[in-house]
Amino acid sequence: MLRKMKSIIGVLLVVLLANTAFGQDNNKFKQLKEELATPNVYRTASGAPGHGYYQQKADYQIKVTLNDDKQTIDGEETIMYTNNSPDQLSYLWLQLDQNMRAKDSDTKLISTGDIGSLSYKGSLQRYLSNANFDGGFKIASVTDASGNNLAHTINNTMMRVDLPKVLMPKGKTTLKIKWSYNINNRAEIGGRSGLEYFEEEDNYLYTIAQFFPRMCVYNDVEGWQNKQFLGNGEFTLPFGDYIVDITVPADHIVSATGVLTNAKNVLTAEQNKRLNAVTDESPSFIVTPEEAAEAEKQKATGTKTWRFEAKNVRDFAFASSRKFIWDAQLVKQETKNVLAMSFYPKEGNPLWERYSTRLVVQTLKTYSKHTFDYPYPVAISVHTDRIGMEYPMICFNGGRPNADGTYSERTKYGMHSVIIHEVGHNYFPMIINSDERQWTWMDEGLNTFLQYLTEQEWQRDYPSRRGPAHLIVDYMKGDKTNIAPIMTNSESLLQFGNNAYGKPATALNILRETIMGRELFDFAFKTYAQRWMFKHPTPADFFRTMEDASGVDLDWFWRGWFMTTDHVDIALTNVAHFQINSMNADKEVAFNEKVAKETPQNISAIRNKAAIKETENERTPSLNDQYIGQDPNALSDREKAKNEKILASLSDKEKALLSKGYEFYQLDFDNVGGLVMPIILEFTFEDNTTELIRIPAEIWRRNNYSVSKMFVFEKVVKSIQLDPYIETADVDTGNNSWPAKVIPSRFSIFKEYNYGY
Amino acid sequence: MKRLLSLMLVLMSVLPAFAHKHYISIANMAYNASAKQIEVSLQVTAHDFEHILENHFKKRIEIETVSDSSEVGRFMIAYLNKNIQLKSANNSAKFNYVGKEVNVRDQLFFYFTFTEVLDPSHIILENSILFQLFSKQQNIAHYKFKEATKSITCTSQSPVADIKF
């Protein structure tokens, strides 16, 4: 519908913004002063560590024995704990994560479900396996350096050790602990670590983690990290140096956090030679498939002890099996070289020998570009069935081909993605050591975002599951009773995968592509990574750094995307077309005629034209007065006089504008979903050229729910598309077009494609 | 017996979460007035659904290789029929399976319709897909009737939802 503006230019060029009264307290652009902790000497307002920032240090010497015949772990450790805090500590807290599998664990007590779910085939068996497993740490002793018993109290998955003497700031203390536990079969009762049993040849593959009592984090934010391990909220631990001796059957191959320092004692001369000859060109075997096939045929009787040393890590894990094939490739970085390695049983092939180590290499390349050079000497991907779990330098990954060596495309991409994801965790949270027990999104979300970037650099148009905005839409739209904001504690999250992985990863990608742009985003993200490398950041440190380093106020974005369950649905509700009154009588008459032609006529008028052959007035022209026969599109004398008066008041420049023939459009937008977002518009003109206009989210700053905006073109607009590159996660694309488009349902597309109706 | 049952309720255990971080299905439903049917596309995580089949048949199953007319396929359709029930005006609607597709993002889509829906403006949906394996599973449905859409979530604690326009 074309309309004429009767007002003059000066008024027209003002951008119209609805300016209704709006309570400042509820404004979506309100700053986050109340939500974020007050900056202090430990953590600054810029998001960087403050001048008083400190962190504790826990160094470990561990001796652990893996008993293959009983599937148990025996261990003893010496922990040297350094108190870098300004506080006096009278007790220490340790994590006993294995106790989650103890018969009386809280995890078992607090899980809910009804009896009906037991009636399903297989579920009763799993339930009983879980209930009957004798899991959890058996703590044999807790002593000081000289062997004197220390008073300790076990509270589920945590243990408090009371110190005989207060540990002063800058002081050190030593603990010695002995323990054992039964290793869980992951296929029967699950677990982040455990064993996989190969029935045919009676062999085990162990992926061992959370296997020793570990120091809790003590810091300025939490004090002692005192949240129990219930199963979802993973870990955060202080950094430290580890020396670990792992005793296993003599025919086992062991892979672990850190550098193998006694390779000469545990590998054959040939294998040692291969280990020293690894190049950066392609992966090469250290243990060949033939050697692994030979090893799994019988069982050795003796044992061997493998020694690993790791510096500045927050945890330690290892894998052990006589089935392992081992390959490696060198990654050359500016600051140091890294060995990318894979350990897998033959059941992983052909996928694993072909892709695993190369995926580790790609992950290090992409992640380092966005953060810092990978600082550890090794990065390892270990294969066991149906898992994806990360530890420093080492991770355990699923992705198994069928028994005949075939595999589906989905299995292949699943394996690729899980390796990239778990190796990526080396950066978040192993090095940028956020607290997963509190905030799953800080490592899973940031990691899933970089996983997406890595996948796209690995293979063009890689079918990433998370990252692009449109893939999160189905989660964010609709019923909100069963979803929670991203800023929710790990144990209370609903829809874990979408909440802590998908939505934050998508939000970061939207910041990068749409809100900040790649250059500003990449610099700020890298700044965060480098500021908090080998430290313990909180959400506020991330939010503040992203703003501080980019010069973009993102409080509205954190507030909407991270603290609410709102979704994006911006509707283009109305398009009005205007032209300027040219003050030229001929042009205006022509315009009026055009409008009259385009204006629809009512059905009676159309039918009467034919049905009424002659009216009384037409039969008797003498009835006409001055009003009859006048051109309805002509200007009245009053209009002419007004135009002349306006014309006389205009400057020459303003007069020149009148004859340019500008087309004016007023577009009205509603914010239906609640999240304020940029308005991205693609205009297509009558000559089929297009113009893209990106309006920042701040257009909503005064009215969060409804805005109008004027656009001026020299051409007539044929159509308008809101969010043309599906980059805002708008859940309803049905209200994004002018003229309106009908979006077909997935059902109708499937049916048309398969049945052609 | 009653006492024993309530004890088991409290002790009911779950699978660890990390292996399956998704636990969600999304049904997009729309009433087609000319065909007098509710048309549904149901998205589930493919490897989650494979667990249902593997548990029953005690072997590894890849959904890509399952034809609808095979033994596994017939079980799969019966499972959907049993676990997704739609009622309207006290009458059970008829479940009609149309087809399925799976993609490399691990998304499995089932297509089906409900006919004999007496009052499409007021339906009662029970969706207990995957509850047998995952107590945290949430089954979301978006139902479009005429121009409006309403959304509900079925959980193992409350698997039945009422949608009324």
Give the span between the Cα atoms of A290 and A353, in whole angstroms. Answer: 13
Given this model, what pLDDT does residue A118 score? 58
Given this model, what pLDDT does residue B1 score? 36
- How many other CB atoms sit within 10 Å of the CB of residue A753? 10
Give the span between the Cα atoms of A289 and A346, in whole angstroms. Answer: 7
* A571 contacts chain B (CB < 8 A): no
Given this model, what pLDDT does residue A482 score? 84
Chain A contact set for B163 (CB, 8 A): none
Chain B contact set for A409 (CB, 8 A): 104
DSSP A270-313: HHHHHHHT--SSS-EEEE-HHHHHHHTTS--SSEEEEEEEEEEE
Determine if the peptide bond prior to A377 is cis (ω within 30°).
Answer: no
CA distances from B99 to A675, B39, B42, B47, B112 (A): 36, 12, 11, 18, 7
What are the b/e assignments for A22-39, b being 16+ CB within 10 Å? eeeeebbbeebeebbeee
Chain A contact set for B10 (CB, 8 A): 109
Give the span between the Cα atoms of A446 and A508, in whole angstroms. Answer: 8
Nearest-neighbour CA in chain A from B61: distance (Å): 9
pLDDT in tens, B147-162: 888 999 999 889 999 9
| Percent of the residues in chain B that have a pLDDT greater than 90, as a whole number | 72
DSSP A340-385: EEEEE-GGGTTHHHHHHHHHHHHHHHHHHHHS----SSEEEEEE-S
Among candidates B62, B98, B151 on the partner chain, residue whose Cβ is nearest the Cβ of A408: B62
Cβ distance B60 to A402 less than 8 Å, yes or no, reads yes
pLDDT in tens, A182-234: 999 998 888 899 999 999 999 999 999 999 999 999 999 999 998 999 888 88
Residue with tokens 């000469």: A264
Among candidates A117, A403, A501 on the partner chain, residue whose Cβ is nearest the Cβ of B131: A117
Chain B contact set for A114 (CB, 8 A): 9, 12, 156-157
Given this model, what pLDDT does residue A9 score? 43
Chain B contact set for A496 (CB, 8 A): 17, 21-23, 136
Give the span between the Cα atoms of A367 and A371, in whole angstroms. Answer: 6
Given this model, what pLDDT does residue A213 score? 98
Total residue count of chain A as it appears in this document: 757
Nearest-neighbour CA in chain B from A120: distance (Å): 6
- Can you state the angle between helices A440-458 and A409-424, rounded to 10 degrees? 130
Given this model, what pLDDT does residue A445 score? 96
What is the SS3 assignment for A240?
Answer: strand
- How many other CB atoms sit within 10 Å of the CB of residue A48? 21
Nearest-neighbour CA in chain A from B90: distance (Å): 24
pLDDT in tens, B61-73: 999 999 999 999 9
What are the b/e assignments for B96-113, b being 16+ CB within 10 Å? ebbebbbebbbbbbbbbb
Chain B contact set for A746 (CB, 8 A): 28, 41, 109
Given this model, what pLDDT does residue A121 score? 56
Among candidates B14, B46, B111 on the partner chain, residue whose Cβ is nearest the Cβ of A410: B46
ipTM reported for the complex, 2 dp: 0.81
- How many other CB atoms sit within 10 Å of the CB of residue B133? 21
Give the span between the Cα atoms of A464 and A93, in whole angstroms. Answer: 40
A420: nearest Cα among A353, A373, A366:
A366
* A127 contacts chain B (CB < 8 A): yes
CA distances from A177 to A149, A166, A447, A660, B137 (A): 10, 20, 34, 86, 40
Q: Do B153 and A495 contact (CB within 8 A), yes or no?
A: no
Nearest-neighbour CA in chain A from B2: distance (Å): 11
Cβ distance B22 to A746 less than 8 Å, yes or no, reads no
Low-confidence ranges of chain A (pLDDT < 70): 1-24, 111-126, 755-757
Given this model, what pLDDT does residue A63 score? 98
Query: Could you say which DSSP state residue B63 is in?
Result: G
Task: Give residue A91's identity as a one-letter amino acid code.
Answer: Y
Give the span between the Cα atoms of A715 and A708, in whole angstroms. Answer: 20
Helices (H), A502-580: 503-510, 518-531, 539-548, 555-557, 563
Give the span between the Cα atoms of A189 and A130, in whole angstroms. Answer: 5
Given this model, what pLDDT does residue A117 score? 55
CA triple A17-A19-A24, angle to 5 deg: 125
A580: nearest Cα among A523, A525, A647:
A647
pLDDT-wise least confident of A458-462, B17-21, B131-135, B156-160: B17-21
| Percent of the residues in chain A that have a pLDDT greater than 70, as a whole number | 94
Sequence-separated (6 or more) residues with CB below 8 Å from residue A689: A715
Among candidates A114, A117, A496 on the partner chain, residue whose Cβ is nearest the Cβ of B23: A496
Among candidates A118, A410, A479 on the partner chain, residue whose Cβ is nearest the Cβ of B104: A410
Given this model, what pLDDT does residue A21 score? 47
- How many other CB atoms sit within 10 Å of the CB of residue A391? 29
* A644 contacts chain B (CB < 8 A): no
Given this model, what pLDDT does residue A12 score? 39
Closest chain A CA to residue B103: A410
Chain B contact set for A123 (CB, 8 A): 55, 132-133
Cβ distance A745 to B28 less than 8 Å, yes or no, reads yes
Give the span between the Cα atoms of A703 and A22, in whole angstroms. Answer: 7
Given this model, what pLDDT does residue A489 score? 92
B147: nearest Cα among B129, B165, B128:
B165
The distance in angstroms from the start CA to the end CA of chain A is 36
Given this model, what pLDDT does residue A579 score? 84
| Cβ-based contacts under 8 A for chains A and B | 150
Chain A contact set for B132 (CB, 8 A): 117, 120, 123
Q: In what order do the strands lie in the sheet with B160-164?
A: B91-92, B84-88, B122-127, B160-164
Task: Give residue A27's identity as a one-letter amino acid code.
Answer: N
Q: Do A314 and A237 contact (CB within 8 A), yes or no?
A: yes
CA triple A258-A320-A367, angle to 5 deg: 45
Given this model, what pLDDT does residue B12 score? 31
